[in-house]
A and B are shown apart, each in its own frame.
Chain A
Amino acid sequence: MRRASLEAAVLVALGVFFLLAPLAIESRFWLGFLTTTLFFALLGQSWNILGGYGGQVSFGHAVFFGTGAYVSAVLQVRFGLDAWSSAAIAVAAGALVGAFIGALTFRYGLRGSYFALVTLAFAEVARVLVNAWDFTGSGFGMLVPMKPGAANLQFVDRTWFYYAILALVAVAYAITWRVERSRFGAYLLAIRENEDAARALGINAFRIKLAAITLSGAMAAVAGVFYIQYYLFVDSHLGYGPAMSVNALLAPLIGGPGTVLGPLIGAVALGALAELTSLLLGKAPGVNLLAFGVLLLVILRCLPNGLMGLLRGRS
């Protein structure tokens, strides 16, 4: 029970920290830093459900993220829909894209590296499409006009955004926690460990994986919706580019894939590392990612269960 209580202590400490942080910090810089950290924690959790628990490593999570951001932006700009309805439709669209890609790839039995590469190809197709289509802003991207107010989900006071993303992360993590303890979660783990054995035991692997990628797609779309409300801008590289896919998988891999808290811990570690490297080496381009790459290799080498593995000890 010691490790369970240790995890609970970490959870409480993180929760209290994130809840009270805006009261203690004055600078907009640190508030922005915490907001982006939570954003990556949300995106990472979305990847974690599919990749961490289900073992279906996706290299194209940007396809869900970008769908969330783009659908929301297009509905608001081109159809004049309000931000709330746009957000809801965008999340549904993310789930739909997840179900579509899942139905195709899992139906034809793509596994492992092939699944990863196909998701990457899907993201690239989406990127090329929105980049070529004037309706989606082509090369210029989509700019959502600034109209502050709760009805438009835009806030001048950045603290509101902070609490919004904190609430979203809390909900996403609660969902993941429920999944982990459910029959569905157990099936997912069984598929990750040995899909053929899971099938032999009568688990409908196709349906379980489909459910996981749908949930994962919806969650990534939520991150996309938050992104568009926060920055009011998205273009094809930001939305569907490989960089966002990499962002989605870094946090859970470093924090600990297949654990509820892993993506959050990974996001915090990455955020801290990014600040540390720019402090030590200056703001040169590429330095952050360089450090991320090194950290990823070190973690894969020494801590295959991520930082959570440290917390849980070698069990």
Chain B
Amino acid sequence: MALGLALIYGVLHIINFAHGSILMLALYAGFFLFTLGGVDPYVAVLILAPAFFAGGYLLQRYVIAPISHGRDTNVLLVTLGLSIILDNLALYLWTSNTRTIDVRYAQVFVDVGVTAVALPKLVALAAAVLIGLLFWLLMTRTDVGKAIRAVSKERQGARIVGISVEHIFAMSFGLGCAVVAIAACLLLPTFYATPQVGNAFVLIAFTTVVLGGMGSFIGALLGGLFLGVVEAYSGLLLGESLGQIGIFLIFILVLLFRPTGLFGQRAA
């Protein structure tokens, strides 16, 4: 399910450490919408996706960009700082209690031939594919998508032909946040929210992207699927506590030996 997350920065080349924290925020937002407002998580998508898009846009344009002075490692440090702030703000405001919601359909299982899958997981999978498709259409068919790809490939050139690089960066960051918000809504019925919940996702998402190949859309999708399989099998073979190691090892190995990823185009 981290698929949705991963798609974004694969294409956009924004290395964002705060992504996990934004997911955490979105999970909490979904949780509070459900408990206080009685809004179903799937309906909450309609509220949270635009809200997080706007939030992400403003964050990139007025916080991250000015602070990082345009340097790659600085972006990493700024987003790290942001994630520290968000995580601990959540810890301060909402304590470290695990929050879950109870929806009727979480217990509905669907028979998919080999095994029975909980309905929300099936919905999430379908939605991830759907979002992936929409995203692909956005990137290839619209002006914004073209501009985003142009900026990620050749920043100077894009500026020369009249694209506002700052605006596009902020747009793509907002898009990333919106997708994260959608992912949170999809996760919520079968998942939980704690201030630390996002941390686990950051490296997994990075790994997916790196594995699939930076900038490759299909790669990120397949990378996500592949990682899911690895995670399941290393958990099965090595036991619960050692199982998490698989993802990190793959991450290291891919970066060392195949930095363009399995499906990435060779860097010129």
Contact = CB atoms under 8 A, between A and B. Distances in A.
Interface of A: 55, 57, 59, 104-105, 108, 110, 112-114, 116-118, 120-122, 124-125, 128-129, 131-132, 138-139, 242, 246, 249, 253, 284-290, 292-294, 296-297, 300-301, 304
Contacts of B109: none
Contacts of A116: 73, 76
A294 B85 contact: yes
A122 B251 CA distance: 10
B252 A297 contact: no
A249 B195 CA distance: 22
Contacts of A125: 245, 248-249, 252
A122 to B, nearest CB: 7
Interface in B160-204: 195, 199, 203
Contact of A128 (B74, B78, B88, B244): B244
A131 B241 contact: yes
Given A292-B84, A300-B78, A128 B67 contact: no
Contacts of A284: 92
B69 interface: yes
B114 interface: no
A133 B207 CA distance: 25
A256 to B, nearest CB: 14
B57 interface: no
Interface in B59-74: 63, 66-69, 72-74
A134 to B, nearest CB: 11
A117 B248 CA distance: 10
A265 to B, nearest CB: 18
Nearest to A295: B81
Contacts of A112: 72-73
7 contacts: A113-B75, A114-B259, A117-B206, A128-B248, A139-B241, A242-B199, A285-B92
B259 A286 contact: no
Contact of A301 (B67, B72, B252): B67
Nearest to A297: B81
A121 B202 CA distance: 11
B8 interface: no
A209 to B, nearest CB: 15
B242 A128 contact: yes
Contacts of B255: 108, 110, 114, 117-118, 121
B249 to A, nearest CB: 6
A113 B15 contact: yes
A253 B199 CA distance: 22
Interface in B205-255: 206, 238-239, 241-242, 244-245, 248-249, 251-252, 255
Contact of A297 (B73, B85, B89): B85
Given A59-B80, A124-B248, A246-B84, A108 B259 contact: yes
Interface in B89-108: 89-92, 95-96
Nearest to B93: A286
Nearest to B75: A113
Contacts of B74: 300
B241 A138 contact: yes
B221 to A, nearest CB: 21
B77 interface: yes
Nearest to A114: B255
A141 to B, nearest CB: 14
Nearest to B68: A300
Nearest to B239: A132
A194 to B, nearest CB: 13
Contacts of A138: 241
A258 to B, nearest CB: 13
B203 A108 contact: no
Contacts of A114: 255, 259
Contact of A293 (B15, B67, B81, B239): B81
